[in-house]
Amino acid sequence: MNGIIPLYKPRGMTSGDCVYKLRKILHERRIGHTGTLDPDVDGVLPICVGQGTKLVNRLLAGGKIYQGEITLGFATTTEDLSGEVIKRVELNQAPTATVINQALSQLTGAIKQIPPMYSAVKVAGRRLYDYARAGETVERPVRQIEVSQFTRTSPVTFDASNGVARFNFEVHCSKGTYVRTLATDCGVILGIPSVMSALTRLESGGIDLKQTVTLAEVATAVDQQQLATVLWPLEQVLANLPQVDLTTEQWEKVKNGNALSLTCTAPEVALTYQRKIKAIYQASVDQAQLYRAQTMLLQND
């Protein structure tokens, strides 16, 4: 059982909950997810199974796309609606769309970001959320992230009864980006406390929301012995890589992790044997046409 499940994670569950349930459904221990989604966030959560777990870092390295909502007028401890309100300003009117667009544009490109205290980032061996829950504060590492797009996707609405304004957004960003921190940073630029009030991951690891399946659909597929309908083979996941069909002699070398001389120009290639990808090899930086092992997938049958 090797491949990727394009899972839809519902709100109210952690990413770890999804892995736990899939282990029971599939009766497979080798399962991992490709980037934590907070319990309040739904959307694409690629799940790696069997030999697919060796591709976690590869899938994590890809960019992600989200859509969500920002509420202006209050801020919380967690930067989303799950935390306690720590600041509130009752608005008399909503900021103009132009002003908001300008704020979002300041948060695009290569920018630095400080992860929220309620996050899984480790400092001195402890998760930041452990410090936060204990009422402790520590200096947080500054991260370099890339935001290629951060745009408003709805009119700005004003809720006079609660003194808040809201608008929807879409963001395209690199791995390691905390979208809720982008939401609060937008408020900082505007001079108004803000919070991320909704978020859905639309795309991750080359998988978009329309391709996802639910936990219930996975369970049904297993019961009906149709797992192939929800488990993408590694060949599909790695379809963007140039493929090299191995001879029997080359296959014997690959099984031992030996380098190969190949007439290729690509920086990395997928090596196949009997129509199954068995390894990903990278071009040597110091010797032309020599490729060395990068990821071994020998048990991909």
Residue 13 lies in a domain: yes
* CATH code for the domain of 14: 3.30.2350.10
* Element of type H or E holding 290: strand 290-296
pLDDT score, position 134: 84
- The SS3 call for residue 32 is strand
Query: Looking at 17, 38, 130, 223, which residue is catalytic?
Result: 38
pLDDT score, position 139: 82
pLDDT score, position 116: 78
pLDDT score, position 268: 93
Residue 159 a catalytic site member: no
Structurally, the chain folds into a number of domains equal to 3
The 10 Å Cβ neighbour count of residue 71 is 23
- Edge-to-edge strands, sheet with 276-283: 243-245, 268-273, 276-283, 290-296, 260-261
pLDDT over 70, % of the chain: 100
pLDDT score, position 100: 97
- Structural domain boundaries, residue 49: 3-62+206-234
For 14, what's the count of Cα atoms within 13 Å in the CB-facing half-sphere?
Answer: 5
Buried-state track 235-271, b at ≥16 Cβ within 10 A, e below 16:
bebbeebeebebeeebbeebeeeeebebeeeeeebbb
Model confidence over 144-180: pLDDT tens digits? 999 999 999 999 999 999 999 999 999 999 988 999 9
pTM: 0.90
Q: Which amino acid is at 4?
A: I
Task: Verify that 135 and 8 share a domain, yes or no.
Answer: no
Task: Verify that 116 and 193 share a domain, yes or no.
Answer: yes
Distances (CA, A) of 244 to 232, 252, 257, 293: 20, 15, 16, 14
Task: Verify that 88 and 177 share a domain, yes or no.
Answer: yes
Contacts of residue 150, Cβ cutoff 8 Å, sequence gap at least 6: 104, 105, 107, 108, 169, 170, 171, 172, 173, 182
Residue 125 lies in a domain: yes
Residue 301 lies in a domain: no
For the chain, which residues score pLDDT lower than 70? Answer: none
Task: Verify that 38 and 123 share a domain, yes or no.
Answer: no
pLDDT score, position 136: 81
Residue 274 lies in a domain: yes
Task: Verify that 78 and 131 share a domain, yes or no.
Answer: yes
pLDDT score, position 118: 74
